[in-house]
Amino acid sequence: MERDVYKHSKTGSYAVSLEQRLEKRYSEIYNNHQKYFLVPLALLMLAVAVLGFSYTQNGEFFQKGTDFTGGTEAQFQINGSFPTTEIEQAFSDAGKPGANAITQQTSEGKNLLVEIPPPDINQSEAEDILTDAGYQVEVLQFNSISASVSNQFFLQAQIAFVLAFTVMSLVIFIAFKDITPSMAVIFAAAGDIIIAGAGMALLGIPLTLGSLAALLMLIGYSVDTDIVLSSRTLKREKDSLQSRMWESLKTGVTMSSGGIAGFTLLYIVSYVIVGPSELSNIAAVMVIGLLADMPLTWLGNTAILKSYIEGEDLIYRGGA
């Protein structure tokens, strides 16, 4: 029993010591906030450069999936091995260039998912292409969407995204009734989206209804941590400003870390069981965005709020 008490005491002392070291490190960041503010700015500039390069190379910031480009998605069960490059070449030789073949793992074995850009192709034609290439196939699922319908989907998705961001911004302005704290929240939320978009471009994650939903969720996650910081910093008068920010950081990082761990686990499980899929893409986008939210909120937003409260020149202070 005495040994258990000793172990508990030792563990508790280690936790206190670790928190003290972290708080000391945060004190350094707090006192040099203008220098550390350059970190989120550099990340944003890098993300913008990635998106700009992607646009110059491909004519779009990131690849769009069939939800927004139109085309066909066909899932096949194939006997034997099937290199995805050979599958793509088979469709190209049949006059359907640009096909994207993906291997998916199921409980019954490996299946093949083929994404074929417009013009439309019917089920028997897709099956014949693989049969002529020497594969024994069975069509498990076949979905086709016209380019005109997908363009309408994309337009509606853009409207929904802009509307969501606009409503969020209005709610933030109404809640804080001050331009600087409100702009700090919007800065972090927009930064999360930009960096997540750059991650999608680098990793080849297409923009689909699923990944768009992930970007919308990121707005909520980002605003959540920013409101924790802003409300505690501006509306509480107890303790020093540094202490209030430190307590906000502990709460916010715990929230974000839980989200990162959960979506990382979702990514690993979905990728191992199924392979590349809509679910793994959603999880990847969320992990990228939540990781980006850490420096944007706790190095960027805190620097803006500290400068605003203390009357420094890091950012314009409304009414000054």
Mean pLDDT of 132-147: 81
- The boundaries of the domain holding residue 99 are 71-145
Q: Does residue 9 form part of some domain?
A: no
Q: Which residue has the higher pLDDT, 164 or 320?
A: 164
On whether the CB atoms of residues 66 and 150 are closer than 8 A, the answer is yes
**Can you give the pLDDT at residue 78?**
79
DSSP state, 64? B
Handedness of CA 183, 304, 44, 246 (dihedral sign): negative
Q: Is the pLDDT of residue 142 over 80?
A: yes
Report how far residue 192's alpha carbon sits from residue 296's, in angstroms, rounded to the nearest whole number: 8
Report how far residue 309's alpha carbon sits from residue 175's, in angstroms, rounded to the nearest whole number: 17
Single out the residue in 145, 180, 199 at which a domain terminates.
Answer: 145
Say if residue 138 is in the same domain as residue 270: no
Q: What is the pLDDT of residues 53-91, one digit of tens each?
A: 999 988 888 888 888 887 888 888 877 777 888 888 888
Q: What is the pLDDT of residues 202-216, one digit of tens each?
A: 998 988 888 999 998
Report how far residue 27's alpha carbon sits from residue 231's, in angstroms, rounded to the nearest whole number: 20
Say if residue 202 is in the same domain as residue 299: yes
Q: What is the pLDDT of residues 248-264, one digit of tens each?
A: 888 888 889 999 999 99
Say if residue 40 is in the same domain as residue 172: yes
On whether the CB atoms of residues 73 and 143 are closer than 8 A, the answer is yes
On whether the CB atoms of residues 284 and 205 are closer than 8 A, the answer is yes
Task: Share the mean pLDDT of the chain.
Answer: 82
Say if residue 52 is in the same domain as residue 164: yes
Q: What is the pLDDT of residues 97-124, one digit of tens each?
A: 888 888 877 666 678 888 888 877 888 8
Q: CB atoms < 10 A from the CB of 213, how many? A: 16
The widest CA-to-CA distance across the chain, in whole angstroms, is: 78
Alpha-carbon distance values, 75 to 64, 85, 139, 225 (Å):
19, 16, 6, 40
Composition of the chain by helix, strand, coil, percent to 5: 70, 10, 20
Single out the residue in 145, 165, 190 at which a domain terminates.
Answer: 145
- Write the CATH number for 259: 1.20.1640.10
**Lowest-confidence segment of 134-138, 149-153, 236-240, 281-285 by average pLDDT:** 236-240
Q: CB atoms < 10 A from the CB of 249, how many? A: 23
pLDDT band at 16 (very low <50, low <70, confident <90, very high): low
Structural domains in the chain (count): 2
Mean pLDDT of 217-231: 87
**Can you give the pLDDT at residue 201?**
92
Single out the residue in 118, 145, 172 at which a domain terminates.
Answer: 145
